[in-house]
Structure 1
Amino acid sequence: MSNATAPNLDVLLDVPVKLSVELGSCLLPMREVLQLATGSVVPLDKLADTPVDIFVNQRRIACGRVVVVEDMFGIKLTELVGKPT
């Protein structure tokens, strides 16, 4: 990379991106959505020990496992999409 493009890359490295984790999903009829209330349990399409999908700006970039870090949830990356493990 030439020196002329390096400063442009530095600007991009500071741009915030949204990282999100998908535990699972389900398809519900609107009737059931309208009946949801505090305490309702919605079953998802993944088993509890199945890796979760990790997204950056809605693009899947990795898989991982849910962990607990100082009383908070965290994600341990187990596979990067498109890269060897």
Structure 2
Amino acid sequence: MTDAPAETTGTNPFSQVPIEITISVGKARPLVRDMLRLQRDSVLPLDRRVDDPVELYVGDKLIARGELTEVEGDPNGQLAVRLTEVADLQNGL
């Protein structure tokens, strides 16, 4: 990562406020009757493939796209996202 501009670091009181980022891997549109049949080990197909990009949102605002990856060296196989595209929040994505 590169160093953040001075105006977004220590001098800005908002720079230490945590935000929640939601990672969207896909959507499903089952019928209600199919939802009522779901049980443990059921499979719910999504509208995306395993290697398709995921989308990162803050609230309902798309901020980036990326690919799922495992955290290197993590014995538990923790997931992470490698960014492939970052939104230009000033001018749109």
| TM interval, short-chain normalised | 0.7 to 0.9
Runs of 4+ in 1 over 2 A off after TM superposition: none
Where does the alignment leave 5 or more consecutive residues of structure 1 unmatched?
1-5
Post-superposition CA distance 1:33-74 (Å, at most 9, x none): 111111011110011111110112231100000000112000
Report the 3-state secondary structure (helix = DSSP H, G, I; strand = E; otherwise coil) of the residue aligned with 1:60.
strand
Give the corresponding residue for 1:3.
none
Q: Distance in 1 between matches of 2:32 and 2:16?
A: 41
TM (norm. structure 2) is: 0.72
Counterpart selection for 1:31 from 5, 29, 33: 33
Q: Distance in 1 between matches of 2:46 and 2:79?
A: 18
Q: Distance in 2 between matches of 1:15 and 1:73?
A: 23
Give the corresponding residue for 1:61.
63
Query: How many pairs are equivalent?
Result: 76
TM (norm. structure 1) is: 0.78
Identity of aligned residues (%): 29
Instruction: Identify, as 1 or 2, the structure richer in strand.
Output: 1
Q: Distance in 2 between matches of 1:11 and 1:57?
A: 21
Where does the alignment leave 5 or more consecutive residues of structure 2 unmatched?
1-7
